[in-house]
Structure 1
Amino acid sequence: MNTRPDIIFICSDQWNARYLRCAGHPQVQTPHLDALAATGCIFDAAYTPSPVCMPARASLASGLYPHAHGFFCNYTGKLFPPEQVTLFRCLQETGYTTAKIGKYHYFSLEWGQDYEDYRDYYDQLGLDWAEETSTPFQGPFLNTGYSRLLKEKGLLDTFITDIGDRYVDGQYTPRPSPLPPDMTPDGYVCRQTLAYLDRAPTDKPLFLFASFPGPHTPLDAPGKYAKMYDPSDIVLPENYNEKRCKYGRQAIAEMTAQYMGKITHFDDRVGEIIAALKKRGNWENTVVVFTSDHGERMGEHGLISKTGFEEGSARVPLIIGGPAAPVGTAGHRNASPVSFLDLFPTFLDLAGAEIPDYCQAVSLLPIVSGETDSVHDAVFSEISRNDQFCYMVRDSRWKWSIQAQNEHLYDLQNDPHEMQNLAQSPAHADTAQRLRNRLLTFLTDTQLNHARGYKPLFTRIGMQFPTENPEDRKRIIHDRLRQVHKHQP
């Protein structure tokens, strides 16, 4: 009988951390995620290691920050090195069945390619079951299990036409999906996840990574979700900036209504997965983790999309719950800074696996259990834009960042919506310098060092010298060298 918990990891794409009812949003409906948070711990200051998809996802798979693994944007023309994707292998080695379904983004396919042609790559990742599907905007120019299903159901041309039009109209054009909910990318990932749960082995503990493409653009809520939120009722964020926004208040409201519709659709899919887990029979020994790779500004500061260090872009939702989560106080909300990257050691900690010494993150279980309130003095985020490296430092009160040589400093305790940039304030010069210094320490302390733990040759081969006599030591070395060649003088 398995005593270690099943770990179900549900990951979204581009989810603004404000958009959860349990996080205080006044309008969005997320009852299933709210219920999960009520049994577990919700992290109010969780940040991505990079505010864009591929670097963040590569970090989670490897336990490394982007500057250590080198993937700083969504396209590199390379496969993320499979030997650096260690999360799944670590779990396999400790006895877990491992599976991942949905978006991976460890590499980017080109026009007309098929994920099935990369089976050898997936086989090297430490996954017992692997199925990758694309984001909606990649979908029409790739061959995938999802596109083949659409073709089988007579919906491929509908999908192609809709996404093709959005290439011209713009990815933020708010327009309902022409596909029924089950046939959307999120519906497909849910259906594939449920099918896997129905056949997944039960003789070993399970690590299942269900990776959804939504609520990332296009802004195309399906079915009933498309009309669930009336744009005229939408409450825009407090830091919406009319002068800076090139779309206008009405357009942002329409975008937000579709975005929220996609979120509630996603939440209902979470409910389906939890129902399937209960039916599977091991629910009482299950941990469920929900998060996102990065955020979405959705009108905050008059901006949309991601890639910046604003709260809407860099902060992510994070909930750890389920019956087997080692929760100290159910429903606890933690305000200390943590990282999406911390899930790498957290998963291994839950599984009872050894956390590799190269891991650049810390398990969150001491916070979940109530043992401590914090595990970091600061967390970090980084991205390359226009060949310039950009960085963020977030400690318990302050957030400092630099992008395109522009510095930002916010007192998040008194200014949670980042309305007043204090980077040039003489009264806050010491705080800005302290955080600059903290960034330097972070970058020097987290270089990937393959020589970590170096031992000299004689130590590595276990050669011992029971005497200090030089001639005796020479004789021992000579004998050991002759053994290499099976040679006797």
Structure 2
Amino acid sequence: MPDQTTPQNLLFLLSDEHNRKIAGCYGHPFVQTPNLDRLAAGGTKFTSAYCNSPICVPSRASLATGRHVHDIGYWDNAIPYAGTPRSWHEVLRDQGADVVSIGKLHFRGGDDYGFTEELIPLHVVDGKGDLKGLFRKELPAKVGTSDMATGAGKGSSTYSEYDTRIAGVACDWLRRRAAADAATPFVLFVSFVMPHFPLVAPEAYYNLYEKYGLEALSQGLDAPADNHPTLNRMRGYFDYDKYFNDERKAIALRAYFGMVTRLDALIGEVLEALETSGFGDNTAVLYTSDHGDNLGSRGLWGKSVMYEDSVGVPMILSGPGVPQGATVDTPVSLLDVAPTAVAATGVEASAEAYPGRSLFDLAQGADPGRAVLSQYHASGSDTGQFMLRKGRWKYIAYVGTVPQLFDLVADPDERRDLAKDPAHAAILAEMDGALRAVCDPEEVNRRAFADQQAVIDANGGRAQIDATVDIPFTPAPA
């Protein structure tokens, strides 16, 4: 734990859609992430970290509140966080800490989220987000899915330009804070957008990977398509893969890798500003992402499923009291960020009974038998999906259809579903019981669909929503 007799700060770095395999410190053989690698070498790397919903808006609502999605009811990209229940940002602000956000939030916008400053934010479109994603039983026609393949490559994008601004604002804030010589503890939440699609990388960063062919680029991302009924349906709806041939897939992966390296460079600028501003000795640094990206594995792109590429995230903690060069296999999730922020700043927040646990404790070996939960109730899925990770086992329940079970020690790439294997029936039942100790999947599934129907009705019904423009991704602010 940090020394709580001295005011502590937290620099919280968040990216969007970072598959944790695509980083040097997580074992990738050639992706260049020198700043994240140094952060991991000087701190603790969590190898079994997860988002709590593999899609942007619910994941970020869960992150903000420190609560499970089924507890807060922000189910999908059309039900954005609106400030209740109160965020850990608000808890810390109320206790006298400064909590500053810079960059993407993906909340409703216009509400009090507990920040003392909210700089260049990105929120959902018109405070409503992706209303068409509410239609889960009878899927709408999805347009523009060819764009992910045809638009991939090298060049400038509004997201890379926005991330450059985010890093600049963060560096300026740290320099101003140092000049002000303020003693108040702070959390600086720097939230980037890359490597979220569109898959366009600045030319210099794309060119770092131009010499690699598809075989090298796709290693670890080449699992065959499964035959699960829910996932088959989703693969048909999110039909990005049918527009990729080998050449386009190689281009897309080079662009994604290039964006990761560009993101790493921007993170390096912020970390350097932290050191030169004099905050290095009393500031913890946490890096993670809101979810991953399938990157073509199993014929899937984007997120929205419970495979490791989608639901897994990188997570690195560094700073005072954190073991250096350590690796922790204990499952963790974004729910653990709230108690970590409280611990890092040393403020009194004992009234908050967060279900997560401080990463400072987990880095020291606490609670190795814990389980973490992720769930999905959003676009493309005709049923609720629930993922429970505990020890070596990963269990995925789909309400109304067959589950999946993976042994991530023996099968880290999730190629062998053990759910139908009689030899694993006891493990399957044990994992299902552990899930039901956290929530009732059937009840949660019913509640999610009911809430989504209420939002459909409040926005004029299906016909009116169908007439609106599709939102492939939220545009960066001007």
Shorter chain as normaliser: what TM range?
0.7 to 0.9
Q: Which residue of 1 aligns with 2:268?
A: 271
Tell me, yes or no, if structure 1 residue 364 matches structure 2 residue 346: no
Of 90-99 and 416-425, the range deviating more from structure 2 = 90-99
Tell me, yes or no, if structure 1 residue 134 matches structure 2 residue 127: no
Q: Contact 1:94–1:352 at 8 Å: present in 2 too?
A: no
Cα deviation, residue 132, structure 1: 4.2
Cα deviation, residue 421, structure 1: 0.6
One-letter amino acid of the counterpart of residue 432, structure 1: L
- Pick one of 344, 351, 361 that aligns with 2:345: 351
Distance across 1 between alignment mates of 2:253 and 2:30: 11
Distance across 1 between alignment mates of 2:120 and 2:351: 26
- Pick one of 190, 208, 214 that aligns with 2:167: 190
Tell me, yes or no, if structure 1 residue 339 matches structure 2 residue 333: yes
Residue deviations 1:447-485, cap 9 Å, x none? 99xxxxxxxxxxxxxxxxxxxxxxxxxxxxxxxxxxxxx
One-letter amino acid of the counterpart of residue 414, structure 1: A
TM-score computed with the length of structure 2 as normaliser: 0.78
Q: Contact 2:317–2:359 at 8 Å: present in 1 too?
A: no
One-letter amino acid of the counterpart of residue 268, structure 1: A
One-letter amino acid of the counterpart of residue 191, structure 1: G
The SS at the match of 1:49 is: coil
Q: Which residue of 2 aligns with 1:15?
A: 18
Distance 1:408 1:102, change over 3 A: same
Cα deviation, residue 444, structure 1: 5.9
Q: Which residue of 2 aligns with 1:82?
A: 83
Q: Contact 1:180–1:222 at 8 Å: present in 2 too?
A: no
- Pick one of 20, 33, 37 that aligns with 2:36: 33
- Pick one of 30, 50, 55 that aligns with 1:52: 55
Q: Which residue of 2 aligns with 1:296?
A: 293
Q: Contact 1:345–1:355 at 8 Å: present in 2 too?
A: no
One-letter amino acid of the counterpart of residue 166, structure 2: V
Q: Which residue of 2 aligns with 1:236?
A: 218
The SS at the match of 2:201 is: coil
- Structure 2 unmatched runs, 5+: 130-142, 227-240, 445-478
- What are the equivalent positions in structure 2 for 1:157-172 lying under 5 Å apart? 169-172=146-149
One-letter amino acid of the counterpart of residue 384, structure 1: H
Distance across 2 between alignment mates of 1:92 and 1:279: 26
Distance across 2 between alignment mates of 1:138 and 1:176: 27
Give identity over the alignment, percent. 30
Q: Contact 1:50–1:294 at 8 Å: present in 2 too?
A: yes
Q: Which residue of 2 aligns with 1:42?
A: 45
One-letter amino acid of the counterpart of residue 334, structure 2: F
Distance across 2 between alignment mates of 1:390 and 1:284: 42
Q: Contact 1:184–1:222 at 8 Å: present in 2 too?
A: no
Distance across 2 between alignment mates of 1:223 and 1:197: 29
Tell me, yes or no, if structure 1 residue 206 matches structure 2 residue 186: yes
Tell me how large the CA RMSD over aligned residues is.
2.7
Greater gyration radius? 1
Distance across 2 between alignment mates of 1:132 and 1:440: 41
Distance across 2 between alignment mates of 1:302 and 1:84: 37
TM-score computed with the length of structure 1 as normaliser: 0.76
One-letter amino acid of the counterpart of residue 371, structure 2: A
Distance 1:214 1:138, change over 3 A: farther
Cα deviation, residue 399, structure 1: 0.5
Residue deviations 1:300-326, cap 9 Å, x none? 22321101000000110000013x2x1
Tell me, yes or no, if structure 1 residue 311 matches structure 2 residue 308: yes
- Pick one of 377, 380, 383 that aligns with 1:388: 383
- Pick one of 393, 397, 402 that aligns with 1:402: 397
Q: Which residue of 2 aligns with 1:258?
A: 255
Distance 1:356 1:220, change over 3 A: farther
Residue deviations 1:224-265, cap 9 Å, x none? 112111252633133514677533443322211100100000
Q: Which residue of 2 aligns with 1:222?
A: 202
Cα deviation, residue 343, structure 1: 0.9
- Pick one of 378, 387, 406 that aligns with 2:371: 378
Distance across 2 between alignment mates of 1:276 and 1:256: 30
The SS at the match of 1:319 is: strand
Cα deviation, residue 191, structure 1: 1.5
Distance 1:167 1:395, change over 3 A: same
Distance across 2 between alignment mates of 1:205 and 1:241: 46
Distance across 1 between alignment mates of 2:219 and 2:17: 17
Structure with more contact order per residue of length (Cα contacts < 8 Å, sep ≥ 6): 2
Distance 1:243 1:306, change over 3 A: closer
Distance across 1 between alignment mates of 2:144 and 2:170: 29
One-letter amino acid of the counterpart of residue 286, structure 1: T
Q: Which residue of 1 aligns with 2:419?
A: 423
Distance 1:27 1:296, change over 3 A: same
Distance across 1 between alignment mates of 2:185 and 2:370: 34
Tell me, yes or no, if structure 1 residue 176 matches structure 2 residue 154: yes
Cα deviation, residue 138, structure 1: 6.5
The SS at the match of 1:46 is: strand
The alignment covers a number of residue pairs equal to 400
Distance across 1 between alignment mates of 2:158 and 2:265: 14
